[in-house]
Amino acid sequence: MSTPHKSRRSDYAEATRLAIVEAARLLFSHKGYFATTVEEIAAKARVAPTTVYAVGGGKQGLLRTLVDIWSQAPIVAASMDEFESLTDPDELLRRLSAVTRTMREGYGDIMHILIATAPHNRDAAHALGIGTRRYRDALTAVATHLHKIGGTHPEMTTEQATSILWFYFGYNGYSALVDENGWPYDQAEPWLTHQATMALRIPLPGHENID
């Protein structure tokens, strides 16, 4: 068993790490990755700059940590288990839209940080690539299950269904409606659900019967 002294030290170390990560997240979101300095992160977290490097791995390490916080959030695994248990395609797409909304409300700032930084920074591009692969893998699993329970057009492949899900529930669906057009989430969520449902059940160009 851990001694009380070791336990307190572990608790302090974890609290320090969380303070550094949260400081980086706020500063990256408000100022941008490039405009934020390690010294500013340290000041906001109330630690020395050397601690930011030792505990957080500097700005690059903190960026990777933020990707893990977003793409490996507990809700992801819980939702995938829930999706797999559903047998009604309409309910599955409603739940997917709701979970995507929850993820975006909780982690949209991290997505924006990475998308804005990736074109100009190799580490950010790599981190975004990791997050995107995890994101698309999850949607591929949903597309596979949708096909199994009759939620896609019979001639639609899993790859095509994944692309449709990515169009509506990837980075741009909620962003285009909520951020760029001012829609409330309560309006965007059912609209995206309806549009995705319809798109998944019609034949793609080239699959229509031609007389």
Q: Do residues 48 and 78 both lie within one domain? A: no
Residues 101 and 175 in one domain: yes
Q: Are residues 25 and 80 in the same domain?
A: no
> 112-161: per-residue pLDDT in tens?
999 999 999 999 999 999 999 999 999 999 999 999 999 999 999 999 99
Shared-domain flag, residues 161 and 83 = yes
The boundaries of the domain holding residue 98 are 68-201
For residue 171, is pLDDT > 70? yes
The model's confidence at residue 211, banded by pLDDT at 50, 70 and 90, is very low
The rounded Cα 128 to chain-centroid distance in angstroms is: 10
- Specify if 188 maps to a domain: yes
What pLDDT does 185 receive?
97
The CATH number for 52's domain is: 1.10.10.60
Q: How does pLDDT run across 79-108, given as a tens digit for each residue?
A: 999 999 999 999 999 999 999 999 999 999
Task: Say if 134 falls within a structural domain.
Answer: yes
| Residue 63 belongs to some domain of the structure | no
Of 16, 31, 56, which residue constitutes the final position of a domain?
A: 56
Is 211 inside any structural domain?
no
Q: Which two tokens stand for residue 22?
A: 């949260």
| 8 belongs to a structural domain | yes
Same-domain pairing of 48 and 80: no
Same domain for 81 and 163?
Answer: yes
Provide the residue type at 185 as one letter: Y
Does 62 reside within a domain? no
Using pLDDT thresholds of 50, 70 and 90, give the confidence band for residue 174.
Answer: very high
* CA angle (40, 43, 44) in 5-degree steps: 85
pLDDT above 60 (res 28) = yes
Owner of token pair 């909520």: 178
Question: Model confidence over 32-48: pLDDT tens digits?
Answer: 999 999 999 999 999 99
Same domain, yes or no: 35 and 76: no
Say yes or no: 75 and 44 in one domain.
no
How long is the chain?
A: 211
Render pLDDT for 190-201 as a digit per residue (tens, 0 to 9): 999 999 999 999
pLDDT value of position 210: 39
Question: Does the pLDDT value for residue 111 go beyond 50?
Answer: yes
Q: Are residues 29 and 105 in the same domain?
A: no
The chain-wide mean pLDDT, for the chain, equals 93
Shared-domain flag, residues 127 and 41: no
Q: CATH number of the domain at 151, please.
A: 1.10.357
38 and 139 co-located in one domain: no
**Same structural domain, 166 and 93:** yes
How many distinct structural domains can be found in the chain? 2
Rounded to an integer, what distance in angstroms lies between the CA atom of residue 92 and that of residue 109? 26
For residue 114, count other CB atoms closer than 10 A to its CB: 25
